[in-house]
Chain A
Amino acid sequence: MGFSIYLYSVLTFSGLVVLLAAGLLIAERFLINYGICKLDINAGEKPLEVEGGQTLLSSLYANEIFIPSACGGRGTCGHCKITVMSGGGPVLPTETPLLTRKEIRSGMRLACQVKIREDIFVRIPTDFLNVRMFSATVESTRVLTHDIKEVRFALDGDQEISQRPGQYVQVQAPSPDGPVFRAYSISSAAYEPKAVELVVRLVPGGIGSTYLHNVEVGDPITFTGPYGEFYLNEVPSTEIVCVGGGCGMAPMKNIIYTLYDKWPDRTCWLFFGCRTTDDIFYLERFKELQKKHPNFHVIYALSDELKPGEQWDGETGFIHLAADKYLEQGVARQAFLCGPPLMIEAVTRVLEEKGIHPDDIFYDEF
């Protein structure tokens, strides 16, 4: 006896587990096999044939249709909403928390939760069909503040990206559970089709931001894009108001540079909220731009008190107070806000008081 009981225990248990695992593998081989299913997009615009048993999202990815998805198919972000006309089965309990009643009635589903078991007919916005996967190389990285970094990619080969300001890309980042995609707004101007620049704030423990803060010049990068439904107002007399804080700078930098490339005399306001002087970045380059385009107004505001010995000739207090102070009533404007929810709420209230229609206020909360 003595030692042998341990040996028998381990052997018996291992044998049993192997037997169970083998049984499961055999069952999987015979049971989870749906054959080839038809996947029809936008009523015949793009008929595909895919292997059944996968999720709709992964089948679309395999066929280079990049639906936005930030959680990696776990059904938590709710970005991969598309309309399933038929063949998707009933709405799953995993989807209901992320879909409104109206969306469920119109056939909206989360592509990552729908499994393809039969021929399926879906509707995808044409914007998503234009999304492509890009390979690029890190061209430069620059530290902007203690936790914000600017990362610039050069697209490989003769690839070109055609983006609108306010759109975003999804960068592929490695994680212990395989690659995941994380969304970042494009900060380089739309007239630079060969480059994509991002402004990334380091989130402690964040997969995407940790990865992007650690890439070095020459590293390869993969991303999909562009995504986003924001359209810049094309009427030259409409003023553009950008309000943001932190890495909310990214889409606004794109908007401002694209705007002044196209309409050098257009009026544009940039309100940027910081806590302390350590959070300030890009102020010099915007002051340069202000010299070239007199209708460009840049206002930075500090919300915390100055440290002893510091100099600051700009605004103080929260950014919505600055917006309230500078903007006058009743001018046709389009506003783009990017920042934390409380800031968005406060600024939206101010802008509505100034007579901007809620439909003309766009925001990106983070």
Chain B
Amino acid sequence: MSETSVWVIFIAAIFTNNILLTNFLGMCSFIACSGQIKTSLGLGTAVIFVMVMTTIINYAVYYGVLVPLGLGHLQFIVFIAVIAAFVQLVEMIVERFSPKLYFALGIFLPLITVNCAILGASLFMIIREYSFFQSVGFGLGAGIGWAVAIVLMAGLRQKMRYSHVPQCFQGVAIAMIVTGVLAMAFMGFAGMVSIQ
């Protein structure tokens, strides 16, 4: 069991161990949906919510069902199924009770089913042997970290629309380069706190 406090894990997940900029998880939707701040904010919020909820559920499923039965190796496939089902359920609930939120988040929810950052958060929780509260802190932190990264990126890309990018770098190429620079900037936080 990890001894680090929940707060440290939370802060570290946002800055020093940002799931996107240090582990490069969830890159596909990060590149695809970072065109506008508004969209990226919507997607980021949806990721935070789903990440926290799925780490909680997956924690319960893993330690409540898989470990007692000695079936820890099923974690990958079970986590994916749980995430997919949960996203579907959330979509239905949001659509029914808050049409406004549905129009803001609804179209991003199906995208999240296949976001590897979500699965990554659940798997890190197991690998790093977090307790329940540490898992919640990590899920929330990792979600916020991902959202911060994509909103930063969207802001930069909006600015870049008015700059003269050489033709061969336009589009995804410059986005990848900027992501790399952002990741290097985040490396500056690296020595502050550390979770494995």
A→B interface (CB under 8 Å): 5, 8-9, 12-13, 16-17, 20-21, 23-24, 27-28, 31-32, 89-90, 92-94, 117
Contacts and interface: CB of A to CB of B under 8 A. Distances in A.
B195 interface: no
The 6 A-B pairs at the shortest CB distance, nearest first, are namely A20-B85, A31-B96, A31-B92, A90-B103, A27-B92, A93-B107
Contact of B71 (A12, A21, A28, A31): A12
A28 B89 CA distance: 8
B173 interface: no
Interface string B60-85: 01000110011101100110011001
Given A31-B96, A92-B107, A12 B74 contact: yes
B23 interface: no
B171 interface: no
A13 B78 contact: yes
Given A12-B69, A13-B74, A92 B103 contact: yes
29 contacts: A5-B70, A5-B71, A8-B69, A9-B71, A9-B73, A12-B66, A12-B69, A12-B74, A13-B74, A13-B77, A13-B78, A13-B81, A16-B78, A16-B81, A20-B81, A23-B85, A23-B89, A24-B85, A24-B88, A24-B92, A27-B92, A28-B92, A31-B92, A31-B96, A32-B95, A90-B103, A92-B103, A92-B107, A94-B107
Please classify the interface of chain A as helix (H, G, I), strand (E, B), loop, or mixed, using the class held by over half of its residues. Answer: helix
B180 interface: no
A307 B119 CA distance: 63
Contact of A27 (B74, B89, B99): B89
Interface of B: 61, 65-66, 69-71, 73-74, 77-78, 81-82, 85, 88-89, 92-93, 95-96, 99, 103, 107
Contacts of A20: 81-82, 85
Contacts of B103: 89-90, 92
A117 B88 CA distance: 19
A17 B74 CA distance: 13
Contacts of B92: 24, 27-28, 31-32
Nearest to A17: B81
Nearest to B82: A20
Given A27-B92, A32-B92, A12 B85 contact: no
A27 B107 CA distance: 19
A20 B89 CA distance: 10
Contacts of A27: 89, 92-93
Contacts of A90: 103
A16 B96 contact: no
Contacts of A92: 103, 107
Contacts of B74: 9, 12-13
Contacts of A89: 99, 103
Contact of B93 (A31, A94, A117): A31
Contact of B99 (A8, A13, A24, A117): A117
B89 A16 contact: no
Contact of A16 (B65, B88, B107): B65
Contacts of A16: 61, 65, 78, 81-82
A306 to B, nearest CB: 44
Given A8-B71, A16-B61, A23-B89, 7 more contacts: A8-B70, A9-B73, A9-B74, A12-B66, A12-B74, A24-B88, A89-B99
A32 B69 CA distance: 36
Contacts of B61: 16
Contacts of B85: 20-21, 23-24
A12 to B, nearest CB: 6
Contact of A24 (B69, B71, B89, B95): B89
A27 B93 CA distance: 8
Nearest to B73: A9
A161 B5 CA distance: 77
Contacts of B65: 12, 16
Contacts of A117: 99
A115 to B, nearest CB: 9
Contacts of B77: 13
Count chain B CB atoms within 10 A of each CB in A8, A13, A16, A94 and give the residue with the most: A16
A165 B69 CA distance: 72
Contacts of A28: 92
A135 to B, nearest CB: 37
A209 B78 CA distance: 43
A250 to B, nearest CB: 39
Count chain B CB atoms within 10 A of each CB in A20, A28, A90, A94 and give the residue with the most: A20
Contacts of A31: 92-93, 95-96
A94 B107 CA distance: 9
A46 to B, nearest CB: 26
A245 B135 CA distance: 66
A89 B89 CA distance: 22
Contacts of B73: 9
